[in-house]
Amino acid sequence: MQRHLISAADLTRDDAVLILDTAEEMARVADRPIKKLPTLRGRTIVNLFFEDSTRTRISFEAAEKRLSADVINFSAKGSSVSKGESLKDTAQTLEAMGVDAVVIRHGASGAPYRLANSGWIDAAVINAGDGTHQHPTQALLDAFTMRRRLIGRDAGLGQDLSGRRITVVGDVLHSRVARSNVDLLHTLGAEVTLVAPPTLVPVGVETWPCEVSYDLDSTLPKCDAVMMLRVQRERMNAAFFPTEREYSRRYGLDGDRMARLPEHAIVMHPGPMVRGMEITAEVADSDRCTAVEQVANGVSIRMAVLYLLLGGNEPAVTHSRTEEK
Ligand code: NCD
């Protein structure tokens, strides 16, 4: 594994499977009455959030605390960033405090890469979402959720997602979740189809390792998982479709469309969901929708990533076989 986690494309198949397997170990900690490991005691981790976040921020914080790290939360609002301070000066302030890892979310694609490769800091850098570029821990938690649901918790250990068919639907153009998932799912052997209106398909998509379709109804009967994306209005500076109603009619997932999926197939969403737009409440609240499970899995994945980047070579969790039973 590399020292930083900037892009899902940096992970080899073996790296990715190791993270998923380690996350399974970490998930067992969540089943214990005391959900804590001493692994990162004495290490300091900063959560540097320049963009809004609910799930990702809380999830990283929970993961860090479960590993006993000292946690510093920084959000751009209310900090000197709103007074015009640069990323470099912010980074050097963190370096002066001796942080061991920085979890960064930033509106600018490439900000985590810059932080990791600038020489400004010595800490490990973990990308928690940069602009429209990458969100590698989201792709990992999505792959973890798919492996558990489609293969099984124990049966999945050591396995990738070879031959599984995943459809990603919606605002691909603005989605770091879609980009990260295409990279990671391809590395794990899955076949990905993107479905979006032509205006929300990125230029250059033909170089991505996936198929593209404009017709949701014909792809649904062939997939093992369908991942719905939010329409990212905050990143749009033009009209990409006529009306919301028109978008939902063609690209939204409702009960009738969900019925076209094979029986075993799951419905995924990274959150935040806009009910009535890309997904109806009926689908969001159905047993097939894994949105809440994805959030829980996010904590295990982030524990695994932090452990592997900072923790070292010992087994992630030491427990005797009898304790497991
Ligand atoms: C996504 C993000 O921020 O990229 N959400 C998340 O991390 N769970 C997707 C989105 O904002 O729609």
Dihedral sign from CA coordinates of 188, 4, 127, 18: positive
Are 147 and 180 in a shared domain?
Answer: yes
- The verdict on residue 205 lying in a domain is yes
Distance 60 CA to ligand 1 centre (A): 14
Domain span at residue 274 reads 136-290
Decide if 127 contacts 104 (C-beta within 8 A).
Answer: yes
Enumerate residues 6+ apart whose C-beta is below 8 A from 217. Answer: 257, 260
Q: What is the pLDDT of residue 311?
A: 80
- The verdict on residue 124 lying in a domain is yes
Average pLDDT taken over every residue of the chain? 92
Q: What is the pLDDT of residue 223?
A: 97
Of these ranges, 3-7, 48-52, 319-323, the one predicted with the greatest mean pLDDT is 3-7
Q: Which atom of ligand 1 is nearest to the CA of 176?
A: 4
Give the other-Cβ count within 10 Å of 104's Cβ: 27
Q: What is the pLDDT of residue 81?
A: 72
Q: What is the pLDDT of residue 313?
A: 52
Are 30 and 53 in a shared domain?
Answer: yes
Which of 53-57, 191-195, 250-254, 262-266 is the least confident region?
53-57
For 189, the token pair is: 């052997």
pLDDT mean over 15-33: 94
Number of structural domains found in the chain: 2
Which DSSP category does 309 fall into? Answer: I
Q: What is the pLDDT of residue 312?
A: 61
Within the chain, residue ranges assigned H as helices are 13-30, 55-66, 87-96, 111-117, 136-150, 176-187, 216-219, 244-251, 255-258, 281-284, 291-306, 321-324
Decide if 306 contacts 299 (C-beta within 8 A).
Answer: no
Name the residue of 57, 135, 235, 277 whose CB sits within 8 Å of the most ligand 1 atoms, as the mutation to test its pocket.
135
What are residue 65's DSSP bridge partners? none
CA distance 142 to 179: 13
- The verdict on residue 192 lying in a domain is yes
- The verdict on residue 325 lying in a domain is no
Q: What is the pLDDT of residue 317?
A: 56
- Please determine, for residue 49, whether its predicted confidence score (pLDDT) is greater than 80: yes
Distance 177 CA to ligand 1 centre (A): 7
pLDDT mean over 215-240: 93
Q: What is the pLDDT of residue 153?
A: 96
86 CB burial (10 A radius; 0-12, 13-18, 19+) = exposed
Name the residue of 56, 277, 294 whose CB sits within 8 Å of the most ligand 1 atoms, as the mutation to test its pocket.
56
- Please determine, for residue 1, whether its predicted confidence score (pLDDT) is greater than 90: no
Q: What is this structure's pTM?
A: 0.94
Q: 322 falls in which pLDDT band (50, 70, 90)?
A: very low
Dihedral sign from CA coordinates of 153, 159, 162, 163: negative
Per residue in 129-168, pLDDT (tens digit) is 999 999 999 999 999 999 999 999 999 999 999 999 999 9
Are 58 and 186 in a shared domain?
Answer: no
Are 75 and 124 in a shared domain?
Answer: yes
Are 152 and 285 in a shared domain?
Answer: yes
- The verdict on residue 86 lying in a domain is yes
Are 128 and 140 in a shared domain?
Answer: no
Are 129 and 169 in a shared domain?
Answer: no
Question: Which residue has better confidence, 130 or 83?
Answer: 130
Kindly state if the Cβ of 132 falls inside 6 Å of ligand 1: no
Are 13 and 94 in a shared domain?
Answer: yes
Q: What is the pLDDT of residue 82?
A: 66
- The verdict on residue 101 lying in a domain is yes
Are 251 and 306 in a shared domain?
Answer: no
CA distance 80 to 76: 8
CATH classification at residue 239:
3.40.50.1370
Decide if 158 contacts 18 (C-beta within 8 A).
Answer: no
Per residue in 3-19, pLDDT (tens digit) is 999 999 999 999 999 99
- The verdict on residue 316 lying in a domain is no
Are 121 and 256 in a shared domain?
Answer: no
- The verdict on residue 49 lying in a domain is yes
Q: 291 falls in which pLDDT band (50, 70, 90)?
A: very high
Question: Which residue has better confidence, 30 or 175?
Answer: 175
Are 75 and 175 in a shared domain?
Answer: no
- Please determine, for residue 52, whether its predicted confidence score (pLDDT) is greater than 90: no
pLDDT mean over 45-71: 95
Are 122 and 211 in a shared domain?
Answer: no
Q: What is the pLDDT of residue 321?
A: 42
Dihedral sign from CA coordinates of 266, 272, 275, 279: negative
Q: What is the pLDDT of residue 197?
A: 95
pLDDT mean over 66-80: 86
Give the other-Cβ count within 10 Å of 53's Cβ: 17
Provide φ and ψ at 110, rounded to 5°.
Answer: 100, -10
Per residue in 239-274, pLDDT (tens digit) is 888 889 999 999 999 999 999 999 999 999 999 999
